Amino acid sequence: MLNRLSIRNFVLVDRLELDFQPGFSVLTGETGAGKSILVDALACVLGERADSGLVRAGCDRAEVSAEFSIPQAELLDWLREHDIAVEAEEGLLLRRVVEASGRSRAYLNGSPVTLQQLRRVAESLVDIHGQHAHQSLLRGDAQRDLLDAHARLRPLADEVAACWRAWRKAQERLEAAQHGAQSAAQERDLLALQIGELDMLAFSAGEWDALNHEHQRLTHAARLIEGARQIVDLLAEGDSACSAQLGAAAHTLDELTGYDSALIETAALIASARADLDEAASALRRYAERIDLDPQRLSEAEKRLEAIFSCARKFRTSPEALPGLLADWRRRFDEIAADADIDALRMQAEAARAAYLETAKRLSAKRAKAAKTLTGEVSRLMGQLALGGGRFEIGLIPLEVDTAHGLHGLEQVEFRVSGLAGHETRPLAKVVSGGELSRISLAIQVVTSQAASVPTLIFDEVDVGIGGGVAEVVGRLLHGLGRERQVLCVTHLPQVAACAEWQWQVTKHFEGNSVRSSVDALDADARVEEIARMLGGVEITDITRRHAREMLAGG
């Protein structure tokens, strides 16, 4: 459930804190006061697209935070898998910051997250039905998505799409092999020659470092021997060798320590330095004795280096990259060899097609069952919305499926409706007026929301185009939804507002050259005034107030 919404510098809102309650709540106000801005702010913090236009004029950034309780164990598991700290009793804080430059950042419980992760969490928390939802219902893809979502078929639909892509890829490989056999054979022959040449070189990445080190040592062997001997002479064997001088210093200190024990530590340091110096001299003697002047081995190393450089130049790469290049060639050679087996590729394509059809048929069967159930539920609800003579129907139109079509299954989903009892149903876009479409859309949304698992439902002026007794029915439907879930509705209809348990009023204020929207929670008396305003317009009379009290009492 949504517990709290905090907004800073968002469009017309400079600062706003809203605490939400369970049940059915409404948001009302004059046209243009900014009612839908609150829904836009919530959509923003739930991961919808954001740009600099959301930042209040003159501000550096906009910020929206939403606090939720977390009822679903599945969501808790997902958050912990992604190292997002959360405890069930503490809830979840979603935060979105939009800079004036248009850049945005998202956070979950203080941890930075991607928009994709934010949307994944939002799907389990809130379902927003926008005021233009009825327009999207005219599109076939939206109708298919709504049916699949209502019937919990999205995972199976995703599996169908994956199977279709696998079939298409297998078929493309088969066709490419059939049409490109000659060019593939030429590429295979060239690869065989190149692989053979690098195999003869027998070069590895580890050899390159070792060979360079050896060549460096062999090239400078004489200088290394000479230098080592010079250092030994300076350290231990020359007339003024360091070892002899340190020995004299140690002898003098031994005498001095007899007069002052404070010099004992210094004497120990010199003794240690003399021992280290003698060890270094011994190591250099051994090193000079080990190094050989080996012109033959130097020549061999230079020839090997030249062979490697020559091969790298031929294939236009660096010596270090030759082993990786060989691995790529071998992989490509194996691919061509596999693609050359037309019969095997044909069997793979047929198996992929069979897997797709099996999965798609399971989806079709479940869609048919869900369509029948949803048809009955929406048709019954249409009767309560002054569409009693009409009938809703979901058609599943078979498609010609091949590797160019079939991503979404074996059928096209089509919402149909008839205006009068006994009349044949026709596609939704062809038979209904704007008002009828709004009511049918609302019926579909209410039915599908009842089956949804999200705890919070937002309806943003979905009651456009209806009024009178139908508006009262809509209010009661939303109130009924509020018994099971948290429902928030932005509305301009007093009949709907009167059915709510909680009500906020949005007002717009002019402050100098700027405009600001504010939201106030209404008590019982304030609700009477607001419902009366919605009923009577600019001038509120005692009659409209009495009517408002009657509506609130009846709601």
Q: Which of 124-138, 306-320, 441-455 has the lowest mean pLDDT?
A: 124-138
CA distance 174 to 109: 50
User: For residue 303, what is the enclosing H or E element?
Assistant: helix 295-314
pLDDT for the residue numbered 388: 65
Supply the Cα-derived Rg of the chain in whole angstroms.
40
pLDDT digits (tens, 9 = 90+) for 493-540: 899 999 999 999 988 877 767 777 788 889 999 999 899 988 876 678
Q: What does the pLDDT look like over 14-61, one tens digit per residue?
A: 888 889 989 999 998 887 767 778 888 988 999 888 888 899 888 999
Query: Could you give the count of Cα atoms lying within 13 Å of 53 in the half-sphere of its Cβ?
Result: 4
pTM of the model: 0.59
User: Which segments within 306-455 are labelled E, that is strand?
Assistant: 391-398, 411-418, 426-427
Residue 216 has pLDDT above 80, yes or no: no
At 522, is the secondary structure helix, strand, or coil? coil
Please give the Cα distance from 350 to 162 (Å, whole number). Answer: 16
Q: Report how far residue 255's alpha carbon sits from residue 185's, in angstroms, rounded to the nearest whole number.
A: 90
Going by pLDDT thresholds of 50, 70 and 90, the confidence category of residue 165 is very high
Residue 416 has pLDDT above 60, yes or no: yes
C-beta atoms surrounding 367 within 10 Å: 23
Better-scored residue on pLDDT, 555 or 282: 282
CA dist 519 and 531 (Å) reads: 16
pLDDT of res. 215: 67
pLDDT tier at 294, thresholds 50, 70, 90 = low
Average pLDDT of the residues in 272-301: 77
Would you place residue 371 in the very low, low, confident or very high pLDDT band (cuts 50, 70, 90)? very high
pLDDT digits (tens, 9 = 90+) for 61-116: 999 999 998 767 777 888 888 888 776 567 889 999 999 998 999 999 888 999 98
Place of tokens 């299954």: 409
Per-residue pLDDT, 61: 93
pLDDT band per the 50, 70, 90 thresholds, residue 133 = low
Average pLDDT over the chain reads 83
pLDDT band at 220 (very low <50, low <70, confident <90, very high): low
Give me the pLDDT at residue 348, please.
92
**Amino acid 435: pLDDT:** 61
Strand pairing report for 502-511 and 456-460: unpaired
